[in-house]
Amino acid sequence: MVVYVCFRIFQLNIQSYDIKHPVMKRYLLFSLLVCFQTVFTVGCTTPEGSGVVEGEFFILGCEESDNYGSVTNKAYFDMMANFFVGEPVLDESAVPRNHRFDIRMQRGSNTLADTDVLYIQITRAALAARLFSQGLPLPVGPDENVSATLGLYLTCPSFYDGPDAYYEGDACPVLTIEEQNELCSGVDYGTLENSFRVPQAPFSKGQSCIILCQFGSAVRGQEIPDDFKIDFGDTVSGIYFFTLGNRRALYTANEICGDGLDNDGDGTVDEDICDEVTAGGFVQGNFEIKVIRAKAIQSFP
């Protein structure tokens, strides 16, 4: 069943994208690997935490011919997230510097193929910890150390084009450490006062950013080693705002429509999809996740 679910997601993605494009090939392979990792590592961590995923966006072709909101009239969204997982992915090389940390906030405990989920990936935990130590928020986007995608397989089961987080202009607001600490001290994790129509302060439309409140053993003002990692027993918390856009538009952004050239080298000149926008808006909220090792379900000799 696990293998079927993962390959079904892969098959549906293939139907939705131009797989000849090299970036799309990498994305499709990545989606398959994430699926297997999510299913097989869920036994390594136990869901423990709270958070909220709310916002306003549109999805055209949400269920084939149906839409979720529109470009001019975006629809309110509340994931009603009640399942929160923080997953350390350790670098086991001879010089372990690329420890990763993944966050999943989703509705229910179903697999990714049958639920709504906000998936955040921190590619290198040490880089995120250094920004936290320096009092800087984390920019989120396709070319950043942190990326995020909203999977809507429950709300929009036939839509497979993200949406993903990106930013226009500055990814994050400019805040002092004191201002960030004040924001964090006032967070009621799992609730959001100002979630309808407008971004919560201090974020603005067009930004994609995480303000970390706690990041494992990282401490403000202290040096962060190259092999820093999030480990079992750690807590990770923060406030976020993500501007959303079509995944294939974000990852093929170097194609220039209307110039008669094959800018992105995929063999197609001025493909129609580079101008087509079928998703947009934002999600925002907060999270507090305790990284807990799951109890063994089977003893081994």
Q: pLDDT at position 192, please?
A: 86
- Distance CA(231)–CA(173), nearest Å, equals 29
Nearest CA among 30, 15, 20 for reference residue 262? 20
- Distance CA(129)–CA(296), nearest Å, equals 30
* Sign of the torsion angle spanned by Cα atoms 250, 251, 257, 259: positive
How far is residue 63 CA from its own chain's centroid? 22
Do strands 235-245 and 45-46 pair parallel, antiparallel, or not at all (unpaired)? unpaired
Token output for 195 = 């979630």
Token output for 31 = 């989606």
Q: pLDDT at position 9, please?
A: 43
- Distance CA(89)–CA(103), nearest Å, equals 11
Count of beta carbons in the 10 Å neighbourhood of residue 235: 17
Q: Dump pLDDT digits (tens) for 67-99.
A: 999 999 999 999 999 999 999 999 999 888 999
pTM for this entry: 0.80
Contact call for residues 106 and 118 (beta carbons, < 8 A): yes
Contact call for residues 167 and 141 (beta carbons, < 8 A): yes
Q: Dump pLDDT digits (tens) for 183-223.
A: 999 999 999 876 567 888 899 999 999 999 999 999 999 99
For the chain, helix (H) and strand (E) counts, in that order, are: 5, 14
- Using CA atoms of 184, 190, 194, 196 in order, give the dihedral in degrees to the nearest 10: 140
- Distance CA(135)–CA(179), nearest Å, equals 10
Q: pLDDT at position 21, please?
A: 43
- Distance CA(122)–CA(142), nearest Å, equals 12
Segments of the chain with pLDDT less than 70 = 1-46, 64-65, 194-196, 252-259, 262-275, 294-301
Token output for 299 = 């003893």
295 phi/psi in degrees, rounded to 5: -70, 145
Nearest CA among 258, 253, 275, 246 for reference residue 21? 253
Token output for 130 = 């250094």
Q: Nearest 5°: CA angle at 90, between 87 and 95?
A: 160
In eight-state DSSP terms, residue 200 is P
Residue 46 β-bridge partners: 292
